[in-house]
Amino acid sequence: MIRTLLKEVKEYKAASIATPIFMILEVLFETLIPFLMASIIDKGVNTGDIHHIYKVGGIMIVAAFLGLLAGMAGGRYGAKASTGFAKNLRNAMFDRIQTYSFANIDHFSTAGLVTRLTTDVTNVQNSYQMMLRMMMRAPASMVCAMVMAFAINARLASIYLVAVLILGIILFFIIRHATAYFQQAFPKYDALNESVQENVSAIRVVKAYVREEEETSKFKRASKNIYDIFVKAEKNVIWNAPIMMFTVYTCIILISWFGAKMIVVDSLTTGELMSLLAYCMNILMSLMMLSMVFVMISMSMASMRRIAEVLDEKTDIHNPEHPVYEVADGSITFKNVDFSYKKDSAEKVLKDINLEIRSGETIGIIGGTGSAKTSLVNLISRLYDVTDGEILVGGKNVKEYDLEVLRNQVSVVLQKNVLFTGSILDNLRWGDKEATDEECIQACKLACADEFIERFPDKYNTHIEQGGNNVSGGQKQRLCIARALLKKPKILILDDSTSAVDTATDAKIRRAFREEIPDTTKLIIAQRVSSVQDADRIIVMDEGKIHGFGTHDELLASDEIYREVYESQTQGGGDFDENGGEA
């Protein structure tokens, strides 16, 4: 886990190395000051040697100034290293997510990935900065102060040794208990982010059903869970400061008591006593800083694990060693294909699928909710990989193709239509970033999108809001179809992509496809029989199997499911499912 994360330090290695070096230099200069102060008191103040006072005082000023410069440099490089490390972690996670297949994405929730990219990375950033600065500064300060204290008077310095051992044991138990709570806290942010995400993305539904109070209560519960865990953790951590201060004051009293007696018998000077008191604060405060570093690290351990999970997730779909870069045609063959979303699952979503689709054919796909229509077409562009069997496109196994080439030639208009913030042209050019305005307009004409675009004041420069909220469902579907057409694919898959379009426009789109792109293989998933009845052939899906495959007339004669649906829709206007569900 640590090795995975540290790989992302990259160009900030120099800053990461420079930070602890400057922190150690700061400690050395700070440690020197109490020693010089003792010399001023014993050899300057007590003897009245003003020259010695000026000389050593000047050295103290220089040491303080150099310590200040070292501390500033350490802070600067520490900030640069930690923020740069956080930037690289976010970039690495985002890049890795882009390589995920749908199966990989199914392992994580959207809210969980957002939390990892934000809250978890911030925790690791803070922890990394603390490690670079305090993880080096605190031990170095404690060791240096301890060495100087023993050099002055080993008997009195032994008080520090006992105090450090006792304090270390107490702090160990405090950190141990606090860590357990902190590890529970950060995963709770997923639930909090999920609550916010669902509420904001579905705010229209929330308001339509007057569910504001329920959503507020759900958010408050998620927030309260985080609050309760942090309170429990902090109840342990708050003991840190009072125990530390009690130890510090006890050491000061003991050193003052025994030191005063030693001064009386001339085995200790006044300056040395003052230096020992100063080193007392250095030693114990260093230990306190060290304990806070461990608390911070314990808080971020859960975040580190969650980030490493994203970075270590291996995509189960990748390019072959020698990929094919050209798709010959739009023919599709399924050979004994089985599929399940989880590889170790005994329940198969698709079972024994065998299909032969010729290039340029228009294939309708119809079936009830949960009949695996979407699962079937998702395998063609390798959004998922088959569990058993093989799929051929253009005569070659889809696993032999370069992924980018395959997905450019197999264009999918997904069931959930998504538009991005920007102009209509910006959204269309997701299909082809080099597409000219004329090509975009032609694609929109094929998808019957030009009809409504021309009515907008800004036409193709009309701004699309986030998620396409300022266009209707049917308009959104037609824009997504136009975007897919711009790829000029050999295979076009419409996954129930005209469900929000009126039947007249649906017929226009199908006629345009038939006339304008006859060589493109078209797979059309639909709930309405009217959307697929003029297709070359129609697949009837039922419970993950092909129940029927043929022309409209052949299926009316031979397939009872298709005949029943056709009759119900033509006579009663019913949908494929009695409840009107979508696949």
Do 307 and 352 belong together in one domain?
no
Do 132 and 262 belong together in one domain?
yes
Asked if residue 578 has pLDDT above 70, the reply is no
Q: Is residue 579 part of a domain?
A: no
DSSP-H helix ranges across 313-423: 373-378, 403-409
User: In the chain, how many domains are there?
Assistant: 2
Do 350 and 300 belong together in one domain?
no
Whether 82 contacts 128, CB under 8 Å: yes
- The parent domain of residue 154 ranges over 2-312
Do 248 and 372 belong together in one domain?
no
Q: Is residue 580 part of a domain?
A: no
- Structure confidence at residue 581 as a pLDDT band (50, 70, 90): very low
Query: Which has more pLDDT, 579 or 70?
Result: 70
Whether 39 contacts 272, CB under 8 Å: no
DSSP-H helix ranges across 348-394: 373-378
Q: Is residue 515 part of a domain?
A: yes
Q: Is residue 186 part of a domain?
A: yes
CB neighbours of 282 closer than 8 A, spacing ≥ 6?
30, 31, 34, 141, 142, 144, 145
Whether 295 contacts 175, CB under 8 Å: yes
Q: What's the pLDDT score for residue 580?
A: 38
Do 278 and 354 belong together in one domain?
no
Contacts of 368-371 spanning 24+ positions with Cβ under 8 A: 368/541, 368/542, 368/576, 368/577, 368/581, 368/583, 369/576, 369/577, 369/579, 369/581, 369/582, 369/583, 370/543, 370/583, 371/541, 371/542, 371/543, 371/544, 371/583
Average pLDDT of 546-574?
82
Asked if residue 274 has pLDDT above 90, the reply is no
Do 260 and 398 belong together in one domain?
no
Last residue of a domain, one of 312, 347, 377: 312
Contacts of 104-113 spanning 24+ positions with Cβ under 8 A: 104/313, 104/315, 104/316, 106/341, 107/313, 108/310, 109/190, 109/194, 110/194, 110/197, 111/190, 111/191, 111/193, 111/194, 111/197, 112/190, 112/193, 112/194, 112/306, 113/310
DSSP state, 43? Answer: I
Do 304 and 372 belong together in one domain?
no
Q: Is residue 583 part of a domain?
A: no
138 residue type, one letter: A
Do 306 and 379 belong together in one domain?
no
Predicted TM-score (pTM) of this structure: 0.71
Here the tokens at position 80 are 């640069």
Tell me the Cα Rg of the chain. Answer: 35
Q: Is residue 547 part of a domain?
A: yes
Q: Is residue 321 part of a domain?
A: no
Weakest mean pLDDT among 9-18, 115-124, 263-272: 263-272
Sheet holding 388-393, edge to edge: 350-357, 332-339, 388-393, 396-397
Q: What's the pLDDT score for residue 85?
A: 93
Average pLDDT of 206-222?
84
Do 253 and 389 belong together in one domain?
no
Here the tokens at position 392 are 């051929």
Closest CA to 583 of 524, 530, 533: 524
Q: Is residue 200 part of a domain?
A: yes
Give the separation between CA 503 and CA 544, rounded to whole angstroms.
28
CATH number at residue 500: 3.40.50.300
CATH number at residue 24: 1.20.1560.10
Do 166 and 225 belong together in one domain?
yes
Neighbours of 485 (CB within 10 A): 29
SS3 labels along 185-220: HCCHHHHHHHHHHHHHHCHHHHHHCCCHHHHHHHHH
Q: What's the pLDDT score for residue 460?
A: 86
DSSP-H helix ranges across 361-502: 373-378, 403-409, 424-428, 437-446, 450-453, 473-485
pLDDT digits (tens, 9 = 90+) for 294-342: 777 777 877 888 888 888 888 778 888 888 898 888 899 999 999 988 7
Closest CA to 131 of 21, 284, 241, 296: 296
Percent of the chain, pLDDT > 70?
Answer: 97
Closest CA to 188 of 214, 221, 212, 234: 221
CB neighbours of 28 closer than 8 A, spacing ≥ 6?
140, 144
Do 349 and 304 belong together in one domain?
no
550-561 CB burial, b ≥16 within 10 A, e <16:
bebeebeeebeb
Whether 185 contacts 115, CB under 8 Å: no
Closest CA to 506 of 472, 478, 480: 478
Asked if residue 102 has pLDDT above 80, the reply is no
Helix (H) or strand (E) holding 73: helix 50-99
DSSP string, 89-142: HHHHHHHHHHH--HHHHTTS-HHHHHHIIIIIHHHHHHHHHHHHHHHHHHHHHH
Last residue of a domain, one of 277, 312, 347: 312
DSSP state, 401? Answer: B
Average pLDDT of 509-533?
85
451 residue type, one letter: E
Last residue of a domain, one of 312, 345, 361: 312
Closest CA to 558 of 537, 572, 577: 537
Do 304 and 337 belong together in one domain?
no
Averaged pLDDT of the chain: 84
